[in-house]
Amino acid sequence: MKNLHVLGFSGSLRKGSFNTALLRAAAELLPEGVALEVFDLSPIPLYNSDVETAGVPEAVQNFKARLAAADALLIATPEYNYSNMLPLNKPEVYVTRAAEKFDAQGRLFDEPTRQRLRELSAALRDWTHRLRGESKN
């Protein structure tokens, strides 16, 4: 059986991050046949297609290459036992062919997508009221 190459990264960039420390511990405790490479995300800029158009930053190119070379990912994030996030999973809004659905000023004109956003907004409103123990009214 082939050895597995796992790429790990931490969602916390703090120097003393426990999530990064957890990845280091995982690297020490791997089963036979598994190697863990811990990648530092701190040089990766927030996504900005204007920057990408001028040339993909070297740190991003390196990260993409490491992702492509990995057999699996191990991501450590500061979730605090799910206490800081209660996600709204549905409805999802996918915008395929986005360039065909926005005008030159960046306004969304595609009515089916606008309707899905209305549905998402209403679901978010209802979900938030439900989490607060409030009625819909």
| DSSP at 100 | G
pLDDT for position 63: 95
Residues of the chain with pLDDT under 70: 1, 79-83, 85, 136-137
Q: What angle do CA 115, 121, 124 make, to 5 degrees?
A: 140
CATH number of the domain at 4-76, please? 3.40.50.360
> What's the pLDDT at 76?
85
- Listed by start position, the domains of the chain span 4-76, 86-137
Q: Please provide the DSSP assignment of 12-63 as one string.
A: ---TT-HHHHHHHHHHHTPPTTEEEEEE--TTPPPP-HHHHHH---HHHHHH
Q: Cis omega before residue 91 (within 30°)?
A: yes
Query: What span, in angstroms and rounded, lies between the C-alpha atoms of 25 and 21?
Result: 6
